[in-house]
Structure formats: C-alpha cells, structure tokens
Structure 1
Amino acid sequence: MIFLKEHLRKSNYEWEVKLNHSIQNNTPDRRIFNRFNGYQVLFIINCFGSSLGKWTFTDGHRIEELISTQLPQDAKSELSVFNWLRGIYLYYNN
C-alpha cells in the first residue's frame, strides 16, 4: 500500500521539494527532517508503514498524528524520526 497526499488528514503542510528531500531515496538517513513538509511526512509514513509489513490507512493516519503531535524537538533527521516511531508505535500497540 502507498499512502498518498490525498490520504493525509492535516492540511497545513508545505509542499516544496528541497535538495535534501528523500523523494529519490528509499530509506531514511541523516538528512534533516521537517515535520511541516508534506513530502517528507509521506516518505516517513510510507517507509515506516512498509517496515510494519501489513499496514492500513488507519496505521498511516496514526503515524501522521504521532508525527504532528508527539515528535520530540530533538528528532531532527529522517533516521531519528524513523527510530522514534519504531519505539513509540510498539509502545502504543502493546
């Protein structure tokens, strides 16, 4: 499944493609993550969702909500966001 722009619940994202954006890359790395950039949020949702194996739109919405409401200020890279999601998602699903 691929989570698309139309599936996002928040509408206040920026849609500017920046040089450090992961649009061509398929794994999170040390590039700076901007929680307000819709492309980066979609990238993380899809990467994390794929790592779950079988996932749904509900999972994608849950990931989006976690990023927008609970992401720590010190999670500055794609990789740190991905790793934070892994820990927080396991916590909420147990």
Structure 2
Amino acid sequence: MHFQKQDLSGTHYTWNNEQPAFSGQPSRRRFDKNNGDQVLYLINFYASLAGRVSLLEGRIIEQTITRDLPDAAKSEVSAFNWIRRSAFPTL
C-alpha cells in the first residue's frame, strides 16, 4: 500500500507543495517530524523494504515518529534507522 496524505491520522503537519517529492534512499537531509511530506516519505520507504504495510501499521509508524522519535534523530537516515531498530526491528 502506498500511503498518501489522507491516510495520515495527524492534522498538525505542514505541507510544501513547491518542493519536489522526496524519493530514493533516506539521506542526511534534515528530518522534520512535522513535515507531512517527509513523514509520508519515511513510511513509504519502510513499506518498500518490508514488502507490505497495512494502513494500521503505517499509522503506528506515524504515531511512533510523532511521539517517540528522539531529538537526536536529526536526519532522514537517522530517523529511518531509529524506526527500523527501535519501533519495527523485523526489517
């Protein structure tokens, strides 16, 4: 399942329709957990590696990012690695 804006449960996100969509591997680009585009990007990147992620699982990833992501996870790659190790270690 490819997650889209309407699949997110949070309503606090900022959206920047002018920037190109995030794609490829997570990078050292600064990660902002309040940027809806970046949250979707990490959920969808995780889903691409896991094979299949349900709507519920995607929302769990979203809530984990929103509530539990440490402040030290400042880049996309560090946020993704934290999600993979801490929240969903099966990947």
TM-score, normalised by the number of residues in structure 2: 0.88
Cα distance, 1:50 vs. partner? 1.5
Stretches of 4+ aligned residues off by more than 3 angstroms: none
| Residue aligned with 2:88, SS | helix
Contact 2:22/2:37, CA 8 A, preserved across alignment: no
Q: Which residue of 2 aligns with 1:61?
A: 59
Gap regions ≥5 residues in structure 1:
none
CA distance in 1, matches of 2:88, 2:33: 21
Residue among 72, 79, 85 paired with 1:87: 85
CA distance in 2, matches of 1:42, 1:25: 11
Structure 2 counterparts to residues 5-84 of structure 1, below 5 A: 5-17=5-17, 23-84=21-82
- Report the number of matched residues: 90
Contact 2:5/2:40, CA 8 A, preserved across alignment: yes
> Cα–Cα, structure 1 residues 18 and 84, in superposed 2: closer, same or farther, change >3 Å?
farther
TM-score, normalised by the number of residues in structure 1: 0.86
Contact 1:32/1:78, CA 8 A, preserved across alignment: yes
Task: Supply the RMSD in Å over aligned alpha carbons.
Answer: 1.8
| Percentage of matched positions with identical amino acids | 38
Contact 2:47/2:53, CA 8 A, preserved across alignment: yes
Gap regions ≥5 residues in structure 2:
none
CA distance in 2, matches of 1:42, 1:77: 15
